[in-house]
């Protein structure tokens, strides 16, 4: 019997591993520090962020539908470091509003916690905008305007987990109003927000034309500068510089106008413009307009523009300069090529500055087999079976031309006095 | 009196000279074997002698005639579940028939038989015949595969061995599907006790970690009785490790495998490693370079007070080799050693067994393909369109070793046994893939990436087992078992380099998907399972016995999972040549130049969780003979389960040891076995069982899997599944292990859990959800038959299963499918269950010439195409196509006493290719994934030293 008792006690021993009772931990709520306020999680009541303190995004801060977040002119918002689910960002959900009406005197700054900018200042000095990218997330505004996602008429914005319903955008209301963004500068963002997915500086998903967006600067973002996923919002006076991917990225049949914009390429920037069309069958007629832009490339890498999957819209009166001589304007596939032929994609009256391009002894540019004798040489219709000659001819007859001096483009005065680009003296060439 | 003429067991001392002489002098032994407890005749007992070939079987009346060489022999009588009886010094003279008379055997045989008797205890469950006997006597619906069978078929691990069983299919070479029901409904236990799984994504045990040389048999129960844990539905898989030997035995075996495409191939891909990899200790050279998970912000280098220096040292802390190495692969090798013995001292019997095995396998897949196809956005087009593709080569080296040691003491009424089992597995994978985004709106269209992935996975399982058996008297029996285990699954330092390839060379383009990543995943699980079972025999007279069984059980499980990821990104821009090592050798962040690839990362809470579960069970059941031919088995089990979760999601919702499951279930079961004749059983069974969500499923975890590119989102609202099982089986047992059985079953699932797309907008995010209900109807046929009309050496073992499954689709899936229906396509309310094969076929043909020592086995296994991924939105369904697996294993025993055996095996004779396809409405199938397996040849040698 002794054996049995021993074994019984062994069994009993194993029962001691029983875990303890449940304990429901709730986290959150803004904490007010001496000169800063921490923000975290969901904002479900109207709130105002005042300019007398730094506002710290501890993680993903989401303004819920029906709620308005007001950010006073001159306010500095700083994002904590973090990647993936820990990434800090400010998300204005569909149905919510942001009221961030800065002024040229008091712009609203979104930057990293690492930026040693002082309250009341417009610029910090410790971060090098050519390299200091990806220190926090970005600003995401979502709305209820028509969008053409890959399936259906709504979409989950990239980088926000599927279970966060506030990541949804797109809907029927073309005049939807997500609030006001004026004189807003977004710096050093673009961290890895989802897997293999870096956040853009300013992401506009299904944002409607009732929203006021002008005087926006995006500096040193890992991914794209400004990316519009569908929607109808108009953007005036935008500046993107030193981004890691594309400056202006258009997807899902964005149907607004971007007017008077500037681009300053960094050493690892890709395209000035990267434009896609509708992804699905809904709202697939949406058509954008880009006009009065000045885009400065660099001699190392980067392209003028890439028109891809079914892109449709108008690119009119842009001035490209400082690009390397292998840069091109590319049509990627047959539908976009057809759109160009039919006029659904209108690329007209753009000027390309060729003054810095050099030719080898053989009379050809370095590493290229074409000469720069004509503007069609920078035009690459890559669609299989496209009538290259007709396509080239149309590019020329649409008023696109090579130039050797400034010709049209943006009015840089809108960017003087409040942008980091101006403070760094980068606008002199525009 | 029937005569059995086939010879099943070849025993020792068969000399070559005797084989060569034309006429051998033989004589016969006859007798009758009865069960000592009830006097019933016993069928299929084997009658053999260690000093002669030949032998015989008892027939349905217990009678036998066995043929042996002339001379004096120790005749052995063996039957699974009974003590082996040895009748010593039986003298056989020419022309004589020796009648041994009535021989009674039993589990507790106490009486002596004439001729000087020794009684030795050995449950010979490792023979196929013994398993059939067990199957016949079982109160459950039972199937099994024995060591004997998997030696014949040449199976290397438990997964492939189990695939011989009726209705069993193996998923990914690791997980058992029983009756097509996935691992969720299958419970794998070791010696009847629960052990931890090794996969963060599953609730069950990976079967490929058990090498067959440590396994005695695998028993699969398909119906529930209250003495088993209640959380299984498809099957209860009991891997029974080797028992000790009845006499001293020692053997070694060696084998070499060769696959013309994979071994000795100079293109084989590997990566930098140490000798520790050879013993599956490869984690030691791939540990995190910091003593603890370290938070490194991207902005570190801008920090004052030496931030740049810290950034430089952090980047340099990681090992620098990121590239694959092309080298020649070796032959596959395996080695095993077994030793066992038994001693008798005074009134005690001591037995022990030690077995160890090692294998080293190389796989090399050239032209591996993974692709994404989509439905066109134009709904009038049915054909699928290519969105993205990956192709390239993958080299894989797997090391597996295991050791089992067990011992037991039997003293009077007490029996005590204990064992320790350790298995360790290391997989080193090196992949070079070229990715092209052809036209995928989910990514960056047109992007091309050169992707290099170096991966290592180290898994271990250590299990202790204690059992005490106390037979108080002929009525009472008590069994106590305790089994603690620890398992770990490490994926240390997964290295991913993806560089964009463009017209102007290699670039690090984040928009196109360029990335450099180091990933660490850890899973550990502890498990303590204890059981106490009591059995009371009630003698009803008329040699009928009613058995009353009751007991309690407890299982505690604790799982800890975490992921750590470090990402390298450039500060500045660099000229890349495409070599993944270039960045680590030349361009790591340098404080002085303030340029280079800097590292950042931190533990991500939503990727981690700690969960535990307690299940307490108690049961009572009764086996009651009703009339002469029927036994009723009925009873119920009560299970109380509590699951606790610690973790948080990305929305700041956090839980600390929060009780996520609190269930009390009463699980009734009733079955009837009707012995129509002594060879025919008809069984009918009904029971209620449950399936609990896994730790990861019942959580808030959001876990990204870099291998599949998918994110898994836990679901705290998940409910456990309740299943009603109905089974009907007809079985006919014949001589020489022949068997025919026909079964039908029906299962109704309430709240079945399915892994589905979270919502149509996020097709790569998956979550478990309860469907309303599901139903399964199935039929099974098993035939084991000697093909004596062709040759008495040929036999056939085959089984067929047909399963019809239906699950009601969730509203979410309906919406996701409706928006992308093609013109003319309709959507049913129900579909087949995920992972459920519609049919499974196993056919085995054995040639067994014991006299010449030549054995050969052809086996064929196939399962019908099954739905693997449920498509939604523009993603079509993915099906796993049938893989026709035809294998040959042969062996030839030679030398003195046939102690030496050479073997030759060919696997995948048909050179079939495992493929998964996208299947659209009226559209041509398109490849989702494919890799070339090729034929493998294997030669082996084994020697019985003692």
- A82·B297 Cβ contact <8 A: yes
Amino acid B151: pLDDT: 66
Tokens found for residue B92: 């056989």
Grouping H, G, I as helix, E, B as strand and the rest as coil, residue A282 is: coil
Residue B764 has pLDDT above 80, yes or no: no
3 state SS of B659: strand
Interchain pair A223, B510: CB under 8 A? yes
Residues of chain B with C-beta less than 8 angstroms from the C-beta of A273? none
The chain A residue lying nearest B709, using CA atoms, is: A195
Closest chain A residue to B706, measured at CA:
A195
* Chain A contact for B299 (CB, 8 A cutoff): yes
**pLDDT bracket for residue A385 (50, 70, 90):** low
Interface ipTM above 0.90: no
pLDDT at B905 over 70: yes
Which of A23-37, A193-207, B414-428 is the least confident region? A23-37
Q: Which of B650, B699, B703 to mutate against chain A (most A CBs within 10 Å)?
A: B650
Query: Smallest Cα–Cα separation from B387: which of B878, B874, B868, B758?
Result: B874
pLDDT one-digit tens code per residue, A247-281: 999 999 999 999 999 999 998 888 999 999 998 88
Nearest CA in chain A to B514: A196
| Region label for B871, one of left (φ > 0), alpha (ψ between -120 and 50) or beta (otherwise) | beta
Q: CB distance from B838 to chain A under 8 Å?
A: no
B796 vs B39, more confident:
B796
Give the pLDDT of residue B245: 66
Pick from B302, B507, B530: CB nearest A14: B530
Chain A CB contacts of B768 under 8 Å are none
In which band, very low, low, confident or very high, does the pLDDT at A366 lie, cut at 50, 70 and 90? low
Contact A98, A86 (CB under 8 A): no
**CA–centroid distance for B577 within its chain:** 44
B480 → closest Cβ in A7, A40, A196: A7
Determine contact, residues B325/B335, Cβ cutoff 8 Å.
no
Nearest CA in chain A to B764: A162
CA separation for the pair B251, B900 (Å, rounded): 10
Nearest CA in chain B to A152: B819
Of B316 and A356, the structure prediction assigns the larger pLDDT to B316
- Give the integer Cα–Cα distance in Å for A371 and A373: 5
User: Would you place residue B126 in the very low, low, confident or very high pLDDT band (cuts 50, 70, 90)?
Assistant: low
- pLDDT of res. B24: 53
Q: Would you state the pLDDT for residue B912? A: 92
Ramachandran sector of residue A97 (left: φ over 0; alpha: ψ -120 to 50; beta: rest): beta
H or E stretch covering B685: strand B680-691
Among the ranges given (A304-308, A367-371, B566-570), the one the predictor scored with the smallest mean pLDDT = A367-371
First-to-final CA distance of chain B: 37
The model's pLDDT over B81-123, given as tens digits with 9 standing for 90+, comes to 677 788 877 888 776 777 787 787 765 333 333 232 333 333 3
The widest CA-to-CA distance across chain B, in whole angstroms, is 104
Residue of B nearest to A270 (CA): B509
Q: Is the pLDDT of residue B945 over 90?
A: no
Task: Give residue B119's pLDDT.
Answer: 32
Percent pLDDT > 70 in chain B is 91
Does the pLDDT at position B794 exceed 50?
A: yes
Judge whether B614 is closer than 8 Å to chain A, CB to CB. Answer: yes
Note the pLDDT of residue A368.
52
Q: Is B556 in Cβ contact with A18 (below 8 Å)?
A: yes
pLDDT for residue B851: 80
Cβ atoms of A237 and A216 closer than 8 Å: yes
State whether A86 and B604 contact (CB < 8 Å). yes
Q: What tokens were used for B793?
A: 């050496």
Q: How far is CA B846 from the centre of its chain?
A: 24
Distance of CA B754 to the CA centre of its chain: 21
Query: Which DSSP category does B295 fall into?
Result: -
Inform me whether the pLDDT recorded for A363 exceeds 70: no
pLDDT at B213: 77
Sheet-wide strand order for B97-105: B97-105, B26-35, B63-69, B52-57, B46-49, B71-78, B84-92, B117-120
Assign 3-class secondary structure to chain A. CHHHHHHHHHHHHHHCCCCCCCECCECCCCEECCCEEEEEEEECCCEEECCCCEEEEEEEEEECCCCEEEECCCCEEEECCCCHHHCCEEEECCCCEEEEECCCCCCEEEEECCCCCCCCCCCCCCCCCCCCCCCCCCEEEECCCCCCCCCCCCEECCCCCCCCHHHEECCCCCCCCCEEEEEEEEECCCCEEECCEECCCEEEECCCCCCEEEEEEEECCCCCCEEEECCCCCEEEEEEECCCCCCEEEECCCCCEEEEEEEECCCCCCEEEEECCCCCCCCCCCCEEEEEEEEECCCCCCEEEEECCCCCEEEECCEEECCCCCCCEEECCHHHHHHHHHCCEEEECCEEECCCCCECCCCCECCCCCCCCCHHHHEEECCCCCCHHHHHHHHHHCCCEEECCCCCCCCHHHHCCCCHHHHCCCCCCC
Query: Rounded to 5 degrees, what are φ and ψ at A366?
Result: -55, 130
> How high is the mean pLDDT of chain B?
85
When pLDDT is averaged across residues B257-269 and rounded to a whole number, the result is 92
Instruction: Give residue B128's pLDDT.
Output: 66
B593 touches chain A (CB under 8 A): no
- Please write the tens of the pLDDT for every residue from B806-817: 998 888 888 888
- pTM for the predicted model, two decimal places: 0.84
Average pLDDT estimate for A383-400 = 84
Residues of A in contact with B571 (CB under 8 A): 131-132
How many inter-chain contacts (A to B, CB under 8 Å) are there?
Answer: 239
- Residue in chain A closest to B760 (alpha carbons) equals A151
Interface test with A, best of B299, B640, B717 (most A CBs within 10 A): B299
Task: Judge: B874–A21 Cβ closer than 8 Å, yes or no.
Answer: no
The Cα A234–Cα B182 span in angstroms is 52
B572-592 pLDDT per residue, tens: 889 999 999 999 999 999 999
Q: Are strands B505-507 and B325-326 parallel, antiparallel or unpaired?
A: unpaired
More confidently predicted of B336 and B198: B336
Please report which helix (H) or strand (E) contains residue A208, including its range: none
The answer to whether the CB atoms of B657 and A20 lie below 8 A apart is yes
Q: Would the CB atoms of B873 and A151 count as touching at under 8 Å?
A: yes
A-chain residues within 8 Å CB-CB of B515? 196
End-to-end CA distance of chain A: 97
Q: What does the pLDDT read at residue A361?
A: 56
Three-state secondary-structure class, residue B210 = coil
Which of A60-69, B46-55, B849-858 is the least confident region?
B46-55
**Which residues from chain A sit within 8 angstroms of residue B441, using beta carbons?**
150, 276, 279, 309
Flag whether residue B650 sits within 8 Å of chain A, measured between CB atoms: yes
Q: Among partner residues B605, B758, B874, which is closest to A162 by beta-carbon distance?
A: B758
pLDDT category at B124 given cuts 50, 70, 90 is: very low
Confidence of residue A427 (pLDDT cuts 50, 70, 90): very high
Confidence of residue A19 (pLDDT cuts 50, 70, 90): very low
pLDDT digits (tens, 9 = 90+) for A157-206: 887 888 888 999 999 999 999 999 999 999 999 988 766 677 899 999 99
What confidence tier does A389 reach under pLDDT thresholds 50, 70, 90? Answer: confident
Is B651 close to A42, i.e. CB distance below 8 A?
yes
Choice between B17 and A146, residue whose per-residue pLDDT is larger: A146
CA B755 from centre of chain: 21
Q: What is the pLDDT of residues B768-789, one digit of tens each?
A: 989 889 999 999 999 988 888 8
Contacts of A138 in chain B (CB under 8 A): none
Percent of chain A with pLDDT over 90: 65
User: CA angle at residue B531 from B527 to B533, to 5 degrees?
Assistant: 165
Considering only alpha carbons, which residue of chain A is nearest residue B443?
Answer: A197
Specify the pLDDT at position B86: 81
Q: Which of B708-712, B721-725, B853-857 has the highest mean pLDDT?
A: B721-725
A267 to B573: CB separation less than 8 angstroms, yes or no: yes
- Is B176 within 8 Å of B207 (Cβ atoms)? yes
Task: Please count the other Cβ atoms lying within 10 Å of the Cβ belonging to residue A402.
Answer: 18
Minimum Cα–Cα distance from A327: chain B residue: B504
Most B CBs within 10 Å, among A83, A275, A306, A367, to test the B interface: A83
In order, the DSSP letters of B552-605 are EEEEEEEEEEEEEEEEEEEES---B-S-HHHHHHH-B-BTTTTBEEEEEEEE-G
pLDDT-derived band at A6, boundaries 50, 70, 90: very low
Mean pLDDT of B663-674: 94
Asked if residue B502 has pLDDT above 80, the reply is yes
Asked if B530 lies within 8 A of A163 by C-beta distance, the reply is no
Residue B215 reports pLDDT greater than 70: yes
Whether the CB-CB separation of A199 and A137 falls below 8 Å is answered with yes
Is the predicted pLDDT of residue B264 greater than 90, yes or no?
Answer: yes
CB A85 within 8 A of CB B702: yes
Q: How many whole angstroms separate alpha carbon B771 and alpha carbon B768?
A: 9
pLDDT in tens, A37-50: 999 999 999 999 99
**Which pLDDT score, from 0 to 100, does residue B196 have?**
84
**CA torsion B384→B387→B393→B395, rounded to 10°?**
-90
From the list B439, B595, B765, the residue facing A309 with the nearest CB is: B439
């Amino acid at each position: 019997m002794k054996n049995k008792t021993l074994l019984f006690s062994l069994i009993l021993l194993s029962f001691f591993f029983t875990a303890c009772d449940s304990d429901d931990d709730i986290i959150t709520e803004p904490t007010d520090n001496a000169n800063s306020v921490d923000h975290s999680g969901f904002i479900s009541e109207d709130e105002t962020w005042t300019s007398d303190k730094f506002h710290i995004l501890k993680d993903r801060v989401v303004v819920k539908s029906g709620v308005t977040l007001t950010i006073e002119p001159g306010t500095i918002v700083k994002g904590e470091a973090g990647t993936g689910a820990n990434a800090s960002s400010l998300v204005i959900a569909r149905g919510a509003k942001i009221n961030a009406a800065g002024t040229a005197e008091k712009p609203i700054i979104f930057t990293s916690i690492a930026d040693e900018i002082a309250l009341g200042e417009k610029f910090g000095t410790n971060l090098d905008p050519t390299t200091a990218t990806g220190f926090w997330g970005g600003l995401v505004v979502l709305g209820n305007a028509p969008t053409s996602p890959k399936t259906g008429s709504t979409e989950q914005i990239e980088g926000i987990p599927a279970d966060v319903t506030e990541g949804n955008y797109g809907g029927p209301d073309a005049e939807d109003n997500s609030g006001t963004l004026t004189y807003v500068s977004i710096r050093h963002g673009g961290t890895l927000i989802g897997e293999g997915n870096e956040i853009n500086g300013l992401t506009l998903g299904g944002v409607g034309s009732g929203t006021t967006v002008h005087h926006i600067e995006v500096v040193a973002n890992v991914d794209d500068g400004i990316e519009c996923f569908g929607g109808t919002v108009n953007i005036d006076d935008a500046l993107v510089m030193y981004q890691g991917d594309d400056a202006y990225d258009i997807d899902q049949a964005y149907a607004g106008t971007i007017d008077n914009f500037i681009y300053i390429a960094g050493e690892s920037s890709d395209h000035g413009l990267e434009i896609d069309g509708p992804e699905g069958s809904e709202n697939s007629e949406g058509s954008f307009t880009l006009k009065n832009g000045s885009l400065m490339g660099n001699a190392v890498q980067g392209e003028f523009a890439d028109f891809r999957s079914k892109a449709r819209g108008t690119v009119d009166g842009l001035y490209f300069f400082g690009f390397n001589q292998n840069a091109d304007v590319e049509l990627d596939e047959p539908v976009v090529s057809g759109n160009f032929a039919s006029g659904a994609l209108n690329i007209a009256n753009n000027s390309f500055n060729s003054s810095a391009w050099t030719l080898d002894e053989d009379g050809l540019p370095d590493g290229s087999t074409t000469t720069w004798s004509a503007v069609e040489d920078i035009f690459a219709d890559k669609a299989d079976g496209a009538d290259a000659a007709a396509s080239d001819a149309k590019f020329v007859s649409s008023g696109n031309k090579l130039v050797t001096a400034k010709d049209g483009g943006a009015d840089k005065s809108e960017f003087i006095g409040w942008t980091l680009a101006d403070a760094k003296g980068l606008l002199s060439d525009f | 009196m029937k005569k059995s003429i086939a010879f099943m067991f070849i025993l020792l001392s068969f000399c070559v000279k005797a084989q060569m002489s034309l006429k051998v002098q033989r004589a016969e032994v006859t007798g009758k074997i009865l069960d000592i407890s009830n006097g019933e005749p016993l069928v299929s007992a084997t009658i053999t002698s260690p000093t002669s070939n030949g032998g015989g079987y008892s027939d349905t009346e217990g009678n036998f005639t066995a043929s042996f060489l002339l001379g004096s022999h120790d005749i052995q009588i063996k039957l699974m579940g009974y003590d082996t009886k040895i009748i010593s010094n039986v003298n056989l003279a020419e022309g004589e028939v020796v009648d041994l008379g009535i021989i009674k055997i039993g589990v507790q045989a106490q009486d002596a038989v004439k001729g000087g008797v020794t009684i030795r205890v050995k449950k010979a469950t490792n023979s196929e015949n013994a398993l059939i006997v067990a199957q016949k006597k079982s109160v459950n619906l039972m199937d099994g595969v024995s060591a004997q069978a998997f030696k014949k078929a040449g199976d290397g691990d438990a997964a492939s061995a189990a695939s011989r069983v009726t209705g069993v299919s193996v998923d990914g070479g690791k997980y058992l599907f029983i009756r097509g029901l996935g691992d969720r409904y299958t419970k794998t236990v070791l010696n009847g006790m629960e052990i931890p799984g090794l996969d963060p994504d599953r609730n069950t045990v990976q079967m490929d970690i058990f090498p067959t040389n440590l396994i005695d048999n695998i028993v699969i129960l398909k119906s529930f009785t209250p003495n088993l844990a209640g959380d299984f539905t498809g099957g209860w898989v009991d891997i029974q490790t080797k028992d000790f030997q009845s006499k001293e035995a020692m053997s070694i075996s060696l084998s070499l495998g060769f696959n013309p495409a994979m071994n000795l191939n100079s293109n084989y891909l590997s990566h930098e490693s140490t000798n520790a990899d050879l013993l599956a200790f490869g984690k030691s050279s791939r540990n995190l370079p910091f003593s603890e998970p370290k938070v490194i912000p991207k902005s570190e280098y801008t920090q004052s007070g030496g931030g740049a220096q810290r950034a430089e040292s952090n980047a340099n802390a990681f090992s620098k080799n990121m590239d694959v190495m092309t080298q020649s692969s070796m032959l596959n090798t395996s080695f095993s050693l077994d030793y066992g013995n038994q001693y008798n001292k005074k009134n005690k019997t001591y037995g022990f067994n030690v077995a160890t095995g090692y294998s080293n396998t190389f796989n090399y897949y050239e032209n591996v393909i993974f692709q994404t196809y989509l439905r066109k956005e134009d709904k009038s087009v049915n054909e699928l369109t290519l969105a993205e593709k990956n192709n390239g080569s993958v080299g894989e080296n797997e090391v597996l070793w295991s050791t089992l040691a067990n011992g037991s003491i039997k003293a009077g009424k007490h029996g005590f046994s204990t064992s320790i089992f350790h298995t360790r597995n290391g997989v080193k994978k090196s992949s070079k893939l070229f990715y092209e985004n052809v036209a995928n709106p989910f990514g960056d269209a047109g992007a091309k990436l050169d992707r290099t992935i170096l991966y290592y996975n180290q898994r271990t399982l250590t299990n202790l087992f204690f059992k005490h058996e106390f037979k108080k008297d002929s009525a009472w029996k008590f069994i106590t078992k305790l089994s603690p285990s620890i398992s770990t699954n490490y994926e240390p330092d997964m290295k991913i380099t993806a560089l964009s390839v463009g017209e102007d060379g290699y670039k690090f383009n984040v928009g196109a998907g360029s990335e450099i990543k180091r990933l660490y995943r850890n899973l550990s699980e502890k498990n303590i399972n204890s059981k106490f079972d009591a059995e009371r025999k009630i003698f009803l007279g008329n040699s009928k016995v009613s058995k009353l069984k009751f007991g309690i059980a407890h299982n505690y499980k604790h799982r800890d999972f975490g992921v750590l990821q470090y990402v390298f990104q450039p500060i500045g821009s660099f000229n890349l040549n495409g070599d993944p090592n270039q960045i680590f050798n030349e361009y790591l962040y340098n404080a002085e130049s303030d340029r280079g690839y800097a590292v950042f990362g931190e533990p991500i809470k939503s990727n981690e969780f700690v969960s535990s579960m307690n299940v307490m069970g108690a049961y009572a059941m009764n086996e009651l003979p009703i009339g002469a031919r029927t036994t009723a088995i009925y009873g119920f089990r009560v299970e109380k389960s509590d699951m606790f979760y610690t973790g948080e999601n990305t929305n700041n919702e956090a839980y600390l040891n929060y009780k996520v499951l609190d269930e009390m279930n009463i699980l009734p079961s009733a079955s009837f076995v009707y012995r129509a004749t002594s060879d025919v059983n008809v069984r009918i069974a009904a029971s209620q069982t449950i399936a609990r969500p896994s730790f990861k499923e019942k959580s808030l975890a959001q876990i990204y899997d870099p291998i599949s590119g998918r994110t898994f989102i836990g679901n705290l609202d998940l409910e456990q599944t309740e299943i009603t099982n109905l089974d009907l089986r007809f079985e006919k047992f014949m001589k020489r292990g022949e068997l025919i059985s026909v079964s039908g079953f029906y299962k109704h699932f309430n709240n079945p859990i399915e892994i589905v797309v979270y919502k149509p907008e996020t097709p790569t995010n998956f979550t478990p959800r309860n469907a309303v209900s599901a139903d399964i109807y199935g039929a099974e046929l098993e035939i084991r038959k000697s093909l004596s009309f062709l040759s008495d050496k040929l036999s056939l073992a085959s089984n067929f299963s047909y399963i019809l499954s239906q699950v009601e689709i969730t509203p979410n899936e309906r919406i996701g499918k409706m928006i992308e229906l093609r013109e003319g396509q309709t959507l049913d309310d129900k579909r087949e269950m995920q992972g459920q094969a519609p049919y499974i076929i196993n056919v085995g043909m054995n040639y067994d010439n014991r006299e010449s020592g030549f054995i050969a086995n052809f086996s064929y296994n196939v399962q019908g195409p099954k739905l693997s991924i449920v498509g939604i939105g523009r993603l079509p369904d993915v099906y796993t196509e049938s893989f026709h697996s035809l294998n040959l294993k042969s062996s030839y025993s030679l030398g003195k006493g046939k102690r030496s055996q050479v073997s030759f095996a060919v696997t995948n004779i048909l050179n079939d290719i495992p493929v998964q396809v996208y299947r659209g409405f009226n559209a041509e199938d398109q490849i989702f994934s494919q890799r070339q397996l090729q034929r493998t040849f294997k030669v082996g040698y084994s020697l019985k030293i003692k």
